[in-house]
Amino acid sequence: MKFSGGVHPAYHKDTAGLQIEAMPLLHRYVVPIAQHLGAPGKVLVAKGDRVARWQPLSEPVGFVSVPVHAPTSGTVKQVAALPHPLGRPMLAVEIESDGEDRPWEGLAPPADWRRLEPAELRRAIQAAGVVGMGGATFPTHVKLSPPAEKKVDLLILNGAECEPYLTADHRVMLEQAAEVMEGLGLMMRVLGVTRACVGIESNKPDALEALRRACPADVAAEFTLLETKYPQGSEKHLIYALSGRRVPPGGLPMDVGCVVQNVGTAVACLEAVRDGLPMTERVATVTGAAINVPHNLRVRVGAPLLDVLAHCGGVTPDVGKVIFGGPMMGIGQFDMDVPLIKGTSGVLCLRDDEAVLFEGGPCIRCGACVDACPMGLVPSAMGLIAERFRFEELGDWHILDCIECGSCAYVCPSRRPLVQHFKRGKAEWRDILEERRAKTDRDAKRAETAATA
């Protein structure tokens, strides 16, 4: 089934043919404690400590929290607020590598996922610090623990990789097809579902073929080649495209009985159980016109951006933007010291003349954004409202349903920074809701005291 809206950006999947190459060991790594959505863990190490590879640097606090692990062995140089891909400095552990890459003795023993209970698997996945690798970085074990009242019957494996430029998932599907499918089977076991759908955009038929061939007999998966259209990889739209189910506004995939997992996440889950190895590396695409030698890199989490760029031959002098993630939803970077983290699916280096400059011209009401919005919103009107700072009206326009996919700004002929409007608008609207809730609570409390008095 096809969803309405969406756009067809130039795909630039030039790195699709490049084998994944392991990044050499670096002198230093900066491992942020917060690499996932949810509560950051509690730091376990202090300055001067010796750590081994895969040793936990933090422990989860609460359920929606995962630990981070040392990418290599060495000495903790500092635990401090250091540059973070999200923009503001955040607590991180800086490790000076000793070059030995000595593994940690406390690793969990390898195990066969087919013999473990779902609860044990979930524990292993959380302990390994596995998060969604599509970019949202939601802790995987939480997604694999639907509450009892939500009956999940379908696991969807997201191999759409609809962001232009990025080919990391594509390469993982080609080179680690067997592990992807094993990981899928593992996650199906955790969820207790018998049905799985694999969705891949039609520009990657080879990936679909590889996965189909690698599918073990005991994993019941359906394979679908999806229309190549952005944002095909968005959870809600992928679910609709594969099953026809529509996640209600404000709802979660599990509200329609689905769980969506990225292909990279499947491999990470498998490695966590089969090999007992925590998540300390990922595949990231380093590409763009401003990078000298594009790569699909297997890079350890915490590798500083500058070293990654240097490994790829450095950037050209006319570099204008360095983006973590894809060009549609990625985050622009300005500090060369930020580390690549679990959610970094790629590093995109755009030339100065390629970088879109928002001009914020007047909206000419052409309606292109309305046609492009995959969520059925009216970005033109919302942008105007936000531009006049009338945030209290944005709720009527379903601002919270905006998935910030960028389709509207991509087509806007006036180059209006619509996504920035909506990010701000969402934050302001949440504040307003919070205030209203507090006020109703106050009123209720007063009514109560008045009643008792």
Partner 1 sequence: MELVLLVLSAILVNNFVLSRFLGICPFLGVSKKLSTALGMTAAVMFVMTLASTVCWLVFHGLLRPYGLEYLQTISFILIIAAMVQLVELALQKLSPGLYRSLGIYLPLITTNCAVLGCAVMNIMNESSLLVTAVFSLAAAMGFGLALVLFSGIREVLALADTPRSFRGTAIALVTAGTLSLSFMGFAGLVK
Partner 2 sequence: MLVPTVVLSGIGLLAGLGLALAARAFAVETDPRQDRITEALPGANCGGCGFAGCGDFAGAVVRGDAKPDGCPVCDQETRRLVASIVGQTVQDRAPQVALILCQGGDDVAAKKYRYNGLASCASAALLGGGDKACSAGCLGLGDCQRVCAFGAVEMTPSGVARIIPARCTACGLCVAACPKDLIKLVPVEATIHVLCSNHDRGPAAKKACTVACLGCKKCEKSFTGDPRIRVADFLAYIDYEHAPDDPALAALCPTGSLVYRGDAAPAAERTT
Partner 3 sequence: MTLESGTGPDGAPTEPATPVAEPITPRDLIVSASPHVHAGQDVPWIMRQVLLALLPGLLAGLWFFGLGALRVLVLAVAGCLACEWACARLVKRPATLRDYSAVLTGVLLAMNLPSGSPWWLVLIGSAVAIGLGKAVYGGLGYNPFNPALVARVFLLISFPVQMTTWVVPQGPGTALDAATGATPLGAIKEAVGLGRTVADAGAPGLRDLLVGNVGGSFGEVSALALLLGGLWLLWRGVIRWQVPVAFMAATALVTGIAHLADPAHYASPLVHLLGGGLMLGAWFMATDMVTSPVTRRGLLIFGAGCGLLTAVIRLWGGYPEGVSFAILLMNAATPLIDRWTRPRVFGEARKLYREADAA
The stretch near partner 1 (CB under 8 A) out of 28-36, 157-165, 186-194, 379-387 is 379-387
CB of 365 to partner 2, least distance (A): 20
Interaction partner, residue 236 (partner 1, partner 2, partner 3, none; CB < 5-8 Å by kind): partner 3
Nearest to 140 by CA among 273, 304, 327: 273
Please tell me the distance from the alpha carbon of residue 193 to that of residue 239, in angstroms, as a whole number. Answer: 16
- Burial (CB count within 10 angstroms: exposed 0-12, middle 13-18, buried 19+), residue 250: exposed
Out of 149, 334, 388, 451, the only residue in the binding site for partner 1 (CB under 8 A) is 388
Q: Quick one: which segment of 20-28, 80-88, 117-125, 212-220 binds partner 2 (CB under 8 A)? A: 80-88
Q: At 292, list the tokens.
A: 């000298």
Q: Say if CB 196 and CB 220 are below 8 A apart.
A: yes
Residue 388 interacts, among partner 1, partner 2, partner 3, none and using kind-specific CB cut-offs from 5 to 8 Å, with partner 1
Site residues for partner 3, window 137-166 (CB under 8 A)? 151, 153-154, 164
Restricted to residues 223-282, the positions that interact with partner 2 (CB under 8 A) are none
Stretch that binds partner 2, among 81-89, 205-213, 216-224, 239-247 (CB under 8 A): 81-89
Site for partner 2 contains 334 (CB under 8 A): yes
391/426 Cα distance (integer angstroms): 8
In whole angstroms, what is the distance from residue 103 CA to residue 8 CA?
A: 45
Q: Which of 169, 174, 141, 145 is nearest to 157 (CA)?
A: 169
Q: CB-wise, 90 or 384, nearer to partner 1?
A: 384
Instruction: Report the DSSP beta bridge partners of residue 79.
Output: 93
Near partner 3 by CB under 8 A: residue from 313, 389, 431, 445: 313
Q: Which residue has the tokens 């159980």?
A: 273
Q: Pick the closer one to partner 3 by CB: 66 or 260.
A: 260
CB nearer to partner 1: pick between 228 and 420:
420
For residue 177 the two structure tokens come to 């097809």
Report the residue from 10, 24, 62, 88 that binds partner 2 according to the rule CB under 8 A: 88
CB of 250 closer than 8 Å to CB of 427: no
What is the Cα–Cα distance from 344 to 86, expressed in whole angstroms? 11
Nearer to partner 1, 151 or 388 (CB): 388
User: Using the rule CB under 8 A, is 48 a contact of partner 1?
Assistant: no
Q: Strands of 39-111 (E only): list them.
A: 42-43, 50-51, 58-59, 74-82, 90-97
The CB-of-421 to partner 1 minimum distance in angstroms stands at 13
Contact 264, 168 (CB under 8 A): yes
Using the rule CB under 8 A, is 370 a contact of partner 1? no
CA separation for the pair 15, 261 (Å, rounded): 23
User: Residue 19 Cβ, how far from partner 1 at the closest point, in Å?
Assistant: 53
Q: Compute the distance between CA of residue 177 and CA of residue 172 in angstroms, rounded to an integer.
A: 7
Q: Does 357 bind partner 2 (CB under 8 A)?
A: yes
> Shortest Cβ distance from residue 441 to partner 2 (Å)?
13
Evaluate whether 73 touches 98 at the Cβ level (below 8 Å): yes
What sign for the dihedral angle of Cα 230, 233, 236, 240?
positive
**Omega into 231 within 30° of 0, i.e. cis?**
yes
Residue 427's binding partner among partner 1, partner 2, partner 3, none (Cβ under 5 to 8 angstroms by kind) is partner 2
Does 419 help bind partner 3 (rule: CB under 8 A)?
yes
- Among left, alpha and beta (phi > 0; psi -120 to 50; other), residue 343 is alpha
Closer residue to partner 3 (CB): 12 or 430: 12
Binding mask of the shown chain, residues 388 to 427, with x at each position contacting partner 2 by CB under 8 A: -x---------------------------x--xx-xx--x
Which option in partner 1, partner 2, partner 3, none does residue 99 bind, with CB closer than 5 to 8 A by kind? partner 3
CA distance 301 to 340: 6
Q: Which is nearer to partner 3, 23 or 92 (CB)?
A: 23
Q: Look at the block and give the residue holding tokens 């050499």.
A: 24
Considering beta carbons, is residue 365 or 446 the nearer one to partner 2?
446
> What's the number of CA atoms in the CB half-sphere (13 Å) around residue 386?
27
**Three-state secondary structure of 285-316:** EEECCCECCCEEEEEECCCEHHHHHHHCCCEC
Strands (E) located in 194-327: 196-201, 221-226, 258-262, 281-287, 295-300, 319-324
Between 28 and 274, whose beta carbon lies closer to partner 3? 28
Size of the site for partner 2 (CB under 8 A): 22
Q: Identify the residue among 96, 120, 175, 371 touching partner 3 (CB under 8 A).
A: 371
* Part of the chain binding partner 3 (CB under 8 A), chosen from 116-124, 213-221, 247-255, 426-434: 247-255
Q: Between residues 47 and 213, which has the closer beta carbon with respect to partner 2?
A: 47
Binding region for partner 2 (CB under 8 A)? 86-89, 332, 334-335, 355, 357-358, 360, 387, 389, 417, 420-421, 423-424, 427-428, 442, 446
- Residues making contact with partner 1 (CB under 8 A): 362, 384-385, 387-388, 390
